[in-house]
């Protein structure tokens, strides 16, 4: 079944599927990742005093006190775990340590942070209703994320999304966004051509990946407090997932 989806003044015709980003699109996880980022920096600071200001900046923190706040388009918001590890290790290497030692320090800090910070996960409002409506309309859905595939699986299980999400691809298998191969692989598993699939995400890498893969349309999503910076390449920008299902036509 093909669907026509009207959003604002755009009409996306003959759509068979939608690929979603996870963090910042389906999952409201900003607070959790900010806490993880602070803990990572604290653990590395214990080994290398004085490095924390540099790491906070490279990770994309706009403030630390009174509450840590991550930039929507910073490294932790858009980058994979590997990219964050490499960036942090580069700063450690500047202190005179070897590259292997620098990577080891970062890797251990990241592992310890993951173990000490309790995972919190919540869906954005209307997320479940939107996914259900899409599937009931005949659309095939998947997730491509900068998070790891096991973490995406845990997210799907926690929120009982398996009836809706049929493919989950993370950044832990040698490719990271905006590599178009991730989108193409998701489409192949869903059994649909990229030209009949929409990409929905909140970052520049989501937009670029969808464009490179020849998606039928690329939709940028932003919160009410975000100006949509770096999403200029999107075909249209929405403020909430519910806008996707306001006008579905078979």
Query: Has residue 226 got a pLDDT over 60?
Result: no
Domain 3-28+121-249 -> CATH class: alpha beta
User: Using CA atoms, how far apart are residues 5 and 246, in angstroms rounded to an integer?
Assistant: 8
Q: Which residues pair with 199 in a beta bridge?
A: 19, 218
pTM of the model as a whole: 0.85
Query: Has residue 128 got a pLDDT over 90?
Result: yes
Query: Has residue 227 got a pLDDT over 60?
Result: no
User: Using CA atoms, how far apart are residues 170 and 150, in angstroms rounded to an integer?
Assistant: 8
Query: Has residue 168 got a pLDDT over 70?
Result: yes
**What is the Cα 154 distance to its own chain's centre?**
15
| Buried b or exposed e, range 80-116, using 16+ CB within 10 angstroms | bbeebbebbbebbbeeebeeeebbebbeebbeebeee
Domains of the chain, by residue range, sit at 3-28+121-249, 30-116
User: Using CA atoms, how far apart are residues 239 and 222, in angstroms rounded to an integer?
Assistant: 5
pLDDT of residue 171: 86
Query: Has residue 119 got a pLDDT over 80?
Result: no
Give the pLDDT band (50/70/90) at residue 224: very low
Nearest to 152 by CA among 25, 18, 237: 25
Alpha helices in the chain (DSSP H): 30-47, 52-59, 75-78, 81-93, 99-116, 127-136, 149-158, 180-190, 204-213
Whole-Å CA distances, 178 to 174, 175, 203, 223: 12, 9, 10, 22
């Amino acid at each position: 079944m093909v669907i026509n989806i009207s959003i604002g003044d755009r009409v996306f015709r003959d759509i068979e599927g939608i690929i979603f980003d996870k963090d910042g699109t389906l999952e409201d996880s900003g607070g959790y990742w900010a806490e993880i980022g602070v803990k990572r920096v604290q653990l590395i600071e214990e080994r290398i005093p004085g490095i924390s200001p540099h790491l906070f900046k490279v990770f994309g923190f706009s403030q630390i006190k009174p509450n840590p706040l991550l930039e929507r388009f910073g490294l932790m918001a858009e980058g994979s775990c590997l990219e964050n590890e490499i960036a942090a290790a580069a700063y450690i290497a500047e202190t005179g340590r070897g590259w292997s030692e620098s990577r080891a320090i970062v890797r251990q800090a990241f592992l310890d942070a993951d173990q000490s910070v309790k995972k919190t996960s919540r869906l954005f409002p209307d997320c479940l209703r939107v996914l259900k409506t899409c599937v009931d309309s005949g659309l095939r859905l998947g997730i491509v994320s900068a998070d790891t595939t096991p973490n995406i699986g845990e997210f799907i299980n926690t929120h009982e999304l398996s009836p809706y999400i049929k493919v989950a691809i993370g950044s832990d298998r040698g490719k990271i966004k905006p590599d178009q191969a991730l989108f193409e692989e998701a489409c192949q598993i869903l059994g649909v051509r990229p030209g009949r699939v929409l990409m929905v995400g909140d970052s520049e890498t989501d937009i670029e990946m969808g464009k490179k893969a020849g998606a039928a349309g690329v939709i940028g999503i932003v919160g009410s407090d975000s100006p949509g910076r770096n999403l200029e390449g999107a075909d249209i920008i929405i403020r909430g997932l519910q806008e996707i299902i306001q006008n579905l036509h078979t």
